[in-house]
Amino acid sequence: MELKHIDIANLSVSSANMRGVTKKPDLTNILPSIRARGILVPLIVRPGAEDGSYEIVAGKRRYHAGLAVAEEQDGIDPLPCAVMEAGDDAAALEASLIENIARLDPDEVNRCEAFTRLVREGRSIEAVGLTFGLTSLQVKRTLAIGNLLPRIRNLYRAEKIEAVTMRHLTLASKAQQREWLALVDCPEKHAPTGPQLKAWLFGGSAIAAKVAMFDLADYTGDVISDLFGEDRYFASADDFWTAQMVAVDDRADAYREAGWSEVVIMDRGSYFNSWEHDHCPKKKGGKVFVSVSHRGEVAFHEGYITMKEARQRAKGEPGADTPKPVRPEVSAALGNYIDLHRHAAVRASVLSEPGVALRLMVAHAIVGSPLWRVDVERQRAASDAIAESVEVSASEAAFDAKRREVLATLGFDPETPTVVGGYDGDHGVAGLFVRLLALSDDAVMSILPIVMGETLAVGSAAQSSALIRLGAWAPNFWGCIGGIFMRILGASVLRKFCAALLVFLDATIMVPSASAQVANEPTPYRNVDEFGVDVSTGTFNFSMVDVAGNPGSTGLSYARTWTRAGWKDNYSGSLYQDGSFISITRGGVSESFTLSGSTWVSAKGNGATLVRTFVGGFPVYTYTSSDGTVTV
């Protein structure tokens, strides 16, 4: 390397300079000293393409400070330079990095681009680390930033996102990065940043691999490494929980085989509070409580009973004394033989006893078991306004009233918030099963809707399917208050929503007049007298068809019927759209259409058609059934 002074006019910034060519450097901390003393530390340069020209590999800020001084003072002395050999790009870049890191740490994106160019020039990760005094992990962390989309790197350069957000995005796939950028561009949505970004990437909460109770070598899902932290994370929370709960159940079985009287697996997210429990050794009937956090952490609390049980024992109340564990009367192998054959006998017997099977199923769903784990839908609302709209709705009031009836039927505490998980009696599933055996079939069947309603996932496909089948998409089930709905959606969105909803609620039905008819009153039931009074209940009870249209076997049929519950009709229809799929229920007929190009094609191929037009920017659907009846 040769040292010489070179005229500033013959110098230019090299493309190998890690700080780039176009970005203007910050001269705040060096310009005053260069004005006073000139440039003392040589620039590192190499011969340029033209004779007498040189490219600056390291020293871009000193060069620009020299230009500023030359402009202020009408010239500057030739700059001291160390001339490298021409052509060695990797060596030039390495020199630039060494000098710049020693003076001013570059931002992570610039360092990543420089390291990437070194690797492409043939340097190994280990060699890059040795050169700059970095570990291989530090080099890999820097290179990981290269997996980000260019726009994300530019957002960091422009200081529009923080370093922690950029680092979390290195865990994202390209598709997730594009989805995140779409949130950034949408003024009506919020793009998660910082810790919330990691939770967003992993579907709700980032679950670290270190909390797994199972062998990661046997795990079939994806585990993502975080180069900026010490942990790895599970890509799919659902896959993790499936494997984790199997491992928890296996551990619980091991405790039972070890002689513990009971192993209680607490609801996910529930805390084990020591002040609510009392120490009790295994030989005196102590239990094992298993707490599972939403982060996947599992803790086993051995040798406890609840304070309620402890007080019962202290008072000597019935059932408070727990018998000491006794030595089994049969060997483990013989016990396994007996259990399996008893299990097979029960399975065969319930085939002819559906009522017993129903009660067993209800007991399992409410209490849970090592093989049954049913979680209650918490109905988490995104805002207080949404929560209020649900709480005051007619649907929620009706469901809560029926739930209280079921709590009373089962003998549960009337203040219990849910039926599922509300049983606090002895003997778990078996205890509730015995209680259900004392109830009638009708009483047990009345429990099922509450259990299903409490555990139906919000926004699920099952919810949508049930909605269509039950015809629950009607204003009287919603009970939404206009003011609340306005606060939730906003005026413009609300207008569009109502326009789509009222397509069917205010639909125009064109029924051929020749086929419309008024039906005569049908023959009353045998237990109803000539005045329409049910002699067994004393209530007014008869059935009458008011109007029927198109009473054919293949087309639409319309009817309004009076029962003691009031007038019922099948006029109202529903339209449900999921992307390119539309399902229509109308007049007792269900029809589905799939979008092919610009045409909606009937799945039945029976001649029914669906046409979509736009009026005032809103979609209007015209449905023609197979018999020619038109609904708009």
pLDDT one-digit tens code per residue, 525-567:
455 565 555 555 555 554 444 444 444 444 444 555 555 555 5
CA 480 to CA 494: how far, in whole Å? 12
Q: Give the phi and the psi of residue 614 in degrees, each rounded to 5.
A: -125, 130
pLDDT at 289: 94
DSSP secondary structure code for residue 372 in this structure: B
Q: Is the pLDDT of residue 490 over 80?
A: no
Sign of the alpha-carbon dihedral angle for 458, 461, 464, 469: negative
State the pLDDT at residue 475: 45
Give the residue-averaged pLDDT of 63-88: 83
Instruction: State the DSSP code for 316.
Output: T
Evaluate if residue 300 carries a pLDDT over 70: yes
pLDDT tens sequence across 309-357:
888 888 775 555 555 555 556 666 777 788 888 888 888 888 888 888 8
Could you give the CA distance from residue 165 to residue 150 in angstroms, rounded to a whole number?
Answer: 15
pLDDT for 572 beyond 80: no
What pLDDT does 515 receive? Answer: 37
Q: Are 589 and 583 in contact (CB under 8 A)?
A: no
pLDDT beyond 70 at 206 = no
**pLDDT score recorded for residue 133:** 60
Residues 6+ apart with CB under 8 A from 394: 476, 477, 478, 479
Residue located via tokens 């010239």: 75
Q: How many CA atoms lie within 13 A of 489 on its CB side?
A: 15
- Lowest-confidence segment of 85-89, 94-98, 182-186 by average pLDDT: 94-98
CA quadruple 254, 257, 258, 262: dihedral positive or negative?
positive
Q: Spell out the domains of the chain, with CATH numbers in brackets.
A: 2-157 (3.90.1530.30), 202-326 (no CATH), 336-478 (no CATH), 490-631 (no CATH)
Positions of E strands within 152-257: 223-225, 232-234
- Round to whole Å and give the CA distance between 366 and 49: 81
What CA–CA distance (Å, rounded) separates 255 from 289? 11
Calpha distance 489→386 (Å, rounded): 10
Res 120 pLDDT > 50: yes
Contact residues for 137 (Cβ-Cβ < 8 A; gap 6+): 227
Give the pLDDT of residue 363. 85
Q: Is the pLDDT score of 496 beyond 60?
A: no
Least confident of 65-79, 397-411, 486-500: 486-500
Listed ranges 154-168, 351-365, 455-469, 617-631; the one with the highest mean pLDDT: 351-365
Q: What does the H/E/C string look like for 260-300?
A: CCCEEECCCCCCCCHHHEEECCHHHCCEEEEEECCCCCEEE
* Residue range 25-48, pLDDT digits in tens: 788 878 888 887 788 777 888 888
**Partners of 397 in the β-ladder:** none
